[in-house]
Copies of this chain bind each other. A is one copy, B any other.
């Protein structure tokens, strides 16, 4: 069949309209696409429109595509109706393997032979999710980061039964709408970024469990420390700079042995009720009593400003 170009994708179906699905919908709308949504929750439409409305000022500030319209979204009572006429499907159902399996099978069956169905899963390999689909060739992972309307990264990877063209096409579509895409050639549990986040998270839990640091200290050690460098230079480039003129080679040749130092704990800590309570209380301290909506608004304002700041700083070096 003739494969459609990414630029020919005009209508996206958003299947599941929770925080991630609705965030995707807002982003697609901002790129001038039409969105057809489905979600089984009784108040889904209200919630969906609330997320889109809340995201729109941020998206406007970042720059809307021509013809972008926050109202170009419709909610449909069935999956089949939502995907009718859609050129691309983004599935963002809850992270439940059984649910993902049946939903992806239904989506593969309900869509045409040139429509890619991407899953927002944050950890399941597509080979595990595609087992019930009679035609799994068009099923790919398209893993976003919260909030999908502000964080550019999308990790794209297929399963063993996915056709290579479907992976390429999803990657091409996301790039076309302005995402930063990592196209992986193998299935890796947790993909890339979540493995790195998870490594930090486990060490943080260990320190709290051992009474060595509080969640507030852990958060501040990142926000006022290495976190200030990470939006501009990732961990490898940061290490490269730490080596001075000798860069990465100097660091590895001189500090390689200290990699083996027992700084990082080996296993995940036991999630005792005490650790659970310490983490919950600590998060409340970090939140400073502010309601979730205020924290979300703060994050969104900051992410926009940080993205701008990094872009400007990078551009200044090239001029």
Contacts and interface: CB of A to CB of B under 8 A. Distances in A.
Contact of A298 (B232, B267, B307): B232
B229 A299 contact: yes
A309 to B, nearest CB: 3
A1 interface: no
A80 interface: no
Nearest to A212: B188
B196 A280 contact: no
Interface centre among A151, A260, A306, A307 (most CB of B within 10 A): A306
Query: How many protomers of this protein does the assembly include?
Result: 2
Contact of A217 (B192, B295, B299): B192
Interface string A242-272: 1011011100110010111111101111010
Contacts of A267: 266
B286 A314 contact: no
A226 B196 contact: yes
Contact of A302 (B184, B227, B303, B309): B309
Contacts of A197: 226, 235
Interface stretch (A59-67, A131-139, A158-166, A198-206): A198-206
A189 interface: yes
Interface in A213-227: 213, 215-227
A237 interface: yes
A181 to B, nearest CB: 9
A192 B208 CA distance: 11
A279 interface: yes
A153 B236 contact: no
Contact of A241 (B195, B295, B305, B313): B295
B226 A287 contact: no
A289 to B, nearest CB: 12
Contact of A234 (B146, B180, B223): B223
A308 interface: yes
